[in-house]
Chains A and B, each alone.
Chain A
Amino acid sequence: MSALLEIRGLEVVFDGFRALGGVDLTVEQGELRFLIGPNGAGKTTLIDVVTGLTRPASGTVRFAGTELGGLREHKIVRLGIGRTFQTSVVFEELTVVENLDLAAGFRRPLPTLLRQRRGVSDTVAAALDTIGLGDLADRPAGVLSHGQRQWLEIGMLIAQKPRLLLLDEPVAGMSRDERDRTGELLTEIARDHTVVVVEHDMEFLRRYASQVTVLHEGKVLVEGDVATVQADPRVQEVYLGRTKKEAA
């Protein structure tokens, strides 16, 4: 096992507000890592920095030995990092297959893009199968429900064939059935991908997580397996405790 993603001393400042205050994080090849923390802990900011959307004030992000600082978003994707967003964005005018085909196609040389798509490539077919939207393949993505959109996004991510997948709250706003289905999908993907999941939903975390990193006020609070993290009094205080009280 070697570190696929290495974050060291990462600091992000928005107008004087320190969103991240010196975060170290290491994700090993093949890991399924959950990133949790209360609102404003800096989880999404962390993903934004890794994917080039936000520039850090200081610190380094290394992916498979390459320093990502200063690279533009699409270059980072081309290195093999894919992400989804909290509010899923799929291309509503394009069909489900066209969405997946687009995601699978960025390695194609530009001139071949001038040809019309004929049939469905193996990559796209496999992604379609994984997310279970085969029946809707030729429907515009605009008709999909919220849950189906999230799955399509995950499918697009798989079709990209990234080495690292970053999922930002994949089950937010989903019904219980949709959450279960997403959990299964996640387990399946994690079998042969390195995945980092930002999540809010504690029940989902308990069911599907193994390794967890807790962020709090822009810093890593605790890191470990689910049981260790849940048992940690600091975590209970800032996060789980409050959730338990709310749940009770």
Chain B
Amino acid sequence: MSARLRGYALFAGVAALFLVVAPLALPAFRLDELAKYLCFAIAALGIGLAWGQGGMLTLGQGVFFGLGGYAMGMYLKLHDAGGDLPDFMVWSGVDKLPALWKPFGNPVFALAAVVVVPVVIATLLGVLVFRQRVRGAYFAILTQALAAAFVILLVGQQGLTGGTNGLTNFYDFFGQDPEADSTQRTTYFVTAIVLGVLYLLARQLVKSRFGRLLVAVRDGEDRVRFLGYNPATVKTITFAISAGMAGIAGALFVPVVGIISPSLLDVVPSLELVVAVAIGGRYTLAGAVLGAVAMNYAKTSFSEQWADGWLYLEGALFIGVMTLAPRGAVGVYEQVRDAIARRRKPVPAPPTASEVPA
């Protein structure tokens, strides 16, 4: 079987696992938890693109996750209020719907905003930052500061955003009861399918000429300039795509979990996403997705036993992976696979430079 076919077969297998086996085997409660992991996996896919392929260590994906989540939450709140003010605004003493909220009563506008707002903000940021050749640790710090500032903004604007509590208590999700098993099942399927489609699109991007260019920018940004490309454009486009993915992830998170609040998109959750991608293996998209699902599953399972221990375990895992296996779980798998293949069928060593006729 060719590598190409094997890849498709593997994808079909995983898709069957998530679309057929998991819904049949898991109780509604666990299936909903899995849907939550898949939301994080969508955001992780974006990090895999930006960081793994493009070398942009983005520590503030929570911002874009939040923008998508709040866009969705605002629509649901307005829909529930049915022309009145959303409940938390009444409690906060707001007497008139803020202008910012008005367009979000329209579901089409809200759904478009889920993608468009993160993409526009990431593009503006990218144009400002990448043109000035801000990169590496400076870019990472900048994105992290952005996440912190965003949280402060959300918490401070109680009447506009619901403050620390965020947006919650949704009673109607596009005509369905969000708590009903059937709705949860539906949102699970939607999330899984969206993840699958985005994965295929991202994979296509990585394999395209643009994807090769992105890797070139990651490994030698200055050299790429002398090939006639503007690395700032390549990075901005990629960063915007990854922000769009985080926005979609945040929007799906709202019906799946039933809340969007500042604590979900703060510095720590943003970092945890990056850690999950590193552990899964940042250089492949599959590694990023795998990392997000596995780490969030582990977090839930572990926290059920020993809540405080998780952060230590996560930190230890991260340090271990970074020092011992920088290519993550996928990298370890590839090494083992290659070692087995070599033992089974000794292939001639790749030609060394001196053996190759010039």
Contacts and interface: CB of A to CB of B under 8 A. Distances in A.
A115 B350 CA distance: 30
Interface residues of A, number: 44
Nearest to B353: A145
A115 B357 CA distance: 33
A151 B222 CA distance: 19
Contact of B220 (A82, A89, A132, A143): A89
Interface string B222-255: 1101111110010000000000000000000000
A173 to B, nearest CB: 13
B358 A106 contact: no
Given A92-B219, A135-B356, A177-B358, A77 B227 contact: yes
B229 A143 contact: no
Contacts of A156: 227
Interface in B191-221: 204-205, 207-210, 212-213, 215-216, 219-220
Contacts of B352: 143
A83 interface: yes
Contacts of B305: none
Interface string A84-123: 0100010111100010011101111010111111000000
A81 to B, nearest CB: 9
B215 A114 contact: no
B227 A102 contact: yes
A94 B216 contact: yes
A211 interface: no
Interface in B4-18: none
Contacts of B351: 135-136
B350 A139 contact: yes
A94 B358 CA distance: 20
Nearest to B215: A93
B358 A178 contact: yes
Contact of B212 (A98, A112, A151, A160): A98
Contact of A94 (B205, B215, B222): B215
A194 interface: no
B2 interface: no
Nearest to B217: A91
B132 interface: no
A125 to B, nearest CB: 17
Interface in B302-358: 350-354, 356-358
A181 interface: yes
Contacts of A160: 227-228
Interface residues of B, number: 29
A91 B215 contact: yes
B358 A108 contact: no
B227 A135 contact: no
Contact of A102 (B205, B213, B233): B213
A74 interface: yes
A93 B226 contact: no
A222 interface: no
A148 interface: yes
A129 B353 CA distance: 18
A139 B210 CA distance: 20
Contact of B208 (A74, A89, A116): A116
A73 B357 CA distance: 35
Nearest to A91: B216
Contacts of B353: 143-145, 147-148
Contacts of A72: 225, 230
B358 A77 contact: no
A85 B223 CA distance: 9
Nearest to B233: A110
B212 A94 contact: yes
Interface in B117-164: none
A116 B210 CA distance: 8
B205 A114 contact: yes
Nearest to A107: B228
A136 B228 contact: no
Contacts of B356: 135-136, 148
B358 A116 contact: no
Contact of B358 (A82, A98, A115, A148): A148
Interface string A13-27: 000000000000000
**Taking each of B220, B350, B353, which has the highest tally of chain A beta carbons within 10 Å of its own beta carbon?**
B353
10 contacts: A77-B227, A85-B223, A94-B212, A102-B227, A105-B213, A107-B228, A113-B209, A113-B213, A148-B353, A160-B227
Interface of A: 51, 72-74, 77-78, 82-83, 85, 89, 91-94, 98, 101-103, 105-108, 110, 112-117, 132, 135-136, 139, 143-145, 147-148, 151, 156, 160, 177-178, 181
Interface of B: 204-205, 207-210, 212-213, 215-216, 219-220, 222-223, 225-230, 233, 350-354, 356-358
Given A91-B219, A115-B208, 12 more contacts: A77-B226, A89-B222, A91-B216, A94-B212, A114-B209, A114-B210, A116-B208, A132-B358, A143-B352, A148-B356, A156-B227, A177-B358
